[in-house]
Amino acid sequence: MATSDRARRTLGHSTADRRLSRYDLLLLVIPAAFLFALVGSTVSSFPLSAFMAAASVVGALAVADGLFVNPPEPGRGR
C-alpha cells in the first residue's frame, strides 16, 4: 500500500507563532457585524433592515480602511 508524506510537507513557514494581521482582523469584522445585526434584530424590536444597514456601514468602513486609509504595502506580510 502506497502512502503519502503529504502531512509532513510544510509551506516553509509556520503559522503557529504568527499573530493575526490588521487585514485578518478587518476580514473578521465584516461577518461579525452582520452576525451581531442578526442577533440584535432577534432580541430587540428594531427591524432587521435597520441592523443590516448599520452592519453594511461597518463593513464598508472596514473595507475603506483596509484599502484606502491603511493600504497593504508591497513586501510586508510575509
Structural domains of the chain, count: 1
pLDDT at 2: 62
pLDDT at 18: 81
pLDDT at 46: 94
* Residue 37 counted as domain residue: yes
pLDDT at 58: 98
Which residues constitute the domain of residue 52? 19-69
* Residue 52 counted as domain residue: yes
* Residue 76 counted as domain residue: no
* Residue 41 counted as domain residue: yes
Grid cell 510544510 is found at 10
CB 41 within 8 A of CB 47: yes
* Residue 39 counted as domain residue: yes
pLDDT at 73: 86
**Residues of the chain scoring pLDDT < 50:** 10
For residue 76, the SS3 value is coil
Give the C-alpha separation, 18 to 35, whole Å. Answer: 26
pLDDT per position as a tens digit, 25-46: 999 999 999 999 999 999 999 9
